[in-house]
Structure 1
């Protein structure tokens, strides 16, 4: 019997999630992974006691994040990035070969990957043309699902879901299933968090991370915010020591007042760079984004042939962006993460060079013709 024959039937069917770092392409300007381009200074001067196991759920870190998120400490679970939170939720609340989750595509790919890896079904209720959930379609599937995943602000579109829409979906799901609101990009959004709905809706779960606004993608630190019953159930499934001591100490440091101020200033700079780039693209290349972005990236839609050409052209210039297929045939999305001002200047130069080779540079949400 070969090694491949030893794997489970479920594993044999899986396709691994293709992260921005899993590509074979290399480059020195990374505008493809939705990271903060600025390194958080909180990582300096840490005293790490690496000879000892860390606390499974570090009390100081939980208190610090609870204070930041304005929740009680017993409403917080520390996880190895928000991705572990997704996996734990599915493992804790979905029976393999029996239950399903609900996603609203286009959305973050790990919801489906985590479900598929655990032999849990995936019900896809696509967003409407304005990238908003269709409540009637979700309502029709509520009885068939255990967890509804809502990404807000959404990756890969950048769109946000109004809080009243989130609340209406929570009402539909009361007593029937969980509603998970993934707020990985919440710091970049002008819309308040759904955290104030936690007391009212015991079926609400919120995912958070230090990977985006906090500039700490490399330490893989995330949080689940939920009522205590959900937290206690998830603790049955979580690994004994999800975070290493370096990650814990860095996260604690990053949640102190001086570094919170640094985070807020970096978010302000990134949002300004986003607005500046978007204005330049509109004025210079007549580009219109898919939608208003409440994240640290902007998304544009192209004919697939053009998107492929642009993607590989930028890669040849040592600059990486992200390309996605869309729900529309022959269309692809190019997602540009905000970098430093110098990196944005480089991007503008290469985009101008790429489109200068073509007579027609008409771009719209319906696609681009060159």
Structure 2
């Protein structure tokens, strides 16, 4: 590296580790259950819209993303002025933290949860404060107790990734009532469409310090397009938009997102979500009948707490053509097609896991 020096705050920063992908040249059928993708390709109307957008690939997209923000506003029933968009909700999480913290401010989050929260804090010169889960769920009391005069952001992953647990709005209202008004509560709702009684948008009007972050990657099946959006205070969202690099979402992805937000495509996504929720119940019941401890999930995945044996079980599954994610002291298994479920059950032995 010569004389270049890495910023001190980044020393030891772990890289983001994605879910495992099939090896190059792998020809056998594999159940790809490591990255919480939906098992179906994009709807035809979405693909057609993206193909048409290629004719304008020599032009920059609208940097304000006015049409996209308007479509999202209509979809969620909130003013477009309070919406920011980015190439994935992860980018928004980083920039929301960047807008709200000063050097040495604190960002509180649960652990294990989405690992990028720690990165978002460190990248913005803030101090990451991790609060352990309680019974695989956010320990809201402990998170409240962790708030100090330096705290600027509290992140709640709801439903939580990787455990799948979720809090209802009623439970979150009680939590929010105990949070200082100058502390932002970011609700990461990447998996909200798979849950019931969970909707952070209903909390916005009564709690101006709440910011909701969502994505088109999961329920809408557009993980490869990288479209995320945040809803909150208009001034804060304006600065979040300014933090992003210019033209951060490409025109082809914008076209796909606009098509995905049309009523017909939204309805089809809803039907696909319903099938995943039904398959989640079948998968959970089947695993439990075989002796596995499965955390009750409100997302499009299930979590098996395995302790130190998680990596070994993940390797065994991979050897049998099933890719799962060892993370947070267990394995996270995406809910896929019925064929994926069958493949997974064939790969896992019939025995009881570590109930921790």
TM-score normalised to structure 2 length: 0.92
Post-superposition Cα deviations, 1:162-200, rounded to whole Å, max 9, x if no partner, equal 212322332333432100000000000012311011111
Deviates more, 1:74-83 or 1:121-130: 121-130
Superposed displacement of residue 55, structure 1: 0.9
Change in 2 beyond 3 A, CA 1:8/1:181: same
Give the 5 Å matches for 1:1-20.
Answer: 2=2, 5-20=4-19
Asked if 2 retains the 8 angstrom alpha-carbon contact of 1:142 and 1:177, the reply is no
1:261 equivalent to 2:261? Answer no
Q: Specify the alignment match of 2:321 in structure 1.
A: 318
Q: Specify the alignment match of 1:329 in structure 2.
A: none
1:34 equivalent to 2:24? Answer no
**What is the alpha-carbon distance in structure 2 between the residues aligned to residue 127 and residue 350 of structure 1?**
29
Post-superposition Cα deviations, 1:305-356, rounded to whole Å, max 9, x if no partner, equal 3x2332111111222100014xxxxxx31111011221211111122xx44x
Post-superposition Cα deviations, 1:94-147, rounded to whole Å, max 9, x if no partner, equal 123x21100122211110012122321011222322514232551442433100
1:89 equivalent to 2:67? Answer no
- Which residue of the other structure, out of 113, 138, 143, is the alignment partner of 2:144? 138
- Which residue of the other structure, out of 181, 190, 209, is the alignment partner of 2:187? 181
Superposed displacement of residue 239, structure 1: 1.5
Asked if 1 retains the 8 angstrom alpha-carbon contact of 2:144 and 2:179, the reply is no
Deviates more, 1:179-188 or 1:122-131: 122-131
Q: Specify the alignment match of 1:213 in structure 2.
A: 219
Asked if 2 retains the 8 angstrom alpha-carbon contact of 1:103 and 1:111, the reply is yes
Superposed displacement of residue 45, structure 1: 1.5
**What is the alpha-carbon distance in structure 2 between the residues aligned to residue 231 and residue 339 of structure 1?**
34
**What is the alpha-carbon distance in structure 1 between the residues aligned to residue 259 and residue 143 of structure 2?**
44
Over 6 Å off, 4+ runs: 22-27
Aligned residues: 348
Q: Specify the alignment match of 1:289 in structure 2.
A: 294
Q: Specify the alignment match of 1:73 in structure 2.
A: 80
Superposed displacement of residue 25, structure 1: 9.4
Q: Specify the alignment match of 2:334 in structure 1.
A: 337
SS in 2 for 1:362: coil
Consecutive unaligned residues of structure 1, counting only runs of 5 or more, are: 326-331, 356-360
SS in 1 for 2:312: helix
Change in 2 beyond 3 A, CA 1:161/1:218: same
SS in 2 for 1:101: strand
Asked if 1 retains the 8 angstrom alpha-carbon contact of 2:307 and 2:354, the reply is no
**What is the alpha-carbon distance in structure 2 between the residues aligned to residue 64 and residue 137 of structure 1?**
35
**What is the alpha-carbon distance in structure 1 between the residues aligned to residue 203 and residue 25 of structure 2?**
43
Superposed displacement of residue 87, structure 1: 0.7
Q: Specify the alignment match of 1:229 in structure 2.
A: 235
Q: Specify the alignment match of 1:328 in structure 2.
A: none
Post-superposition Cα deviations, 1:223-281, rounded to whole Å, max 9, x if no partner, equal 01001121122223121111000110000000001100110011011111111111111
TM-score normalised to structure 1 length: 0.88
- Across the aligned residues of Structure 1 and Structure 2, the Cα RMSD in angstroms comes to 2.0
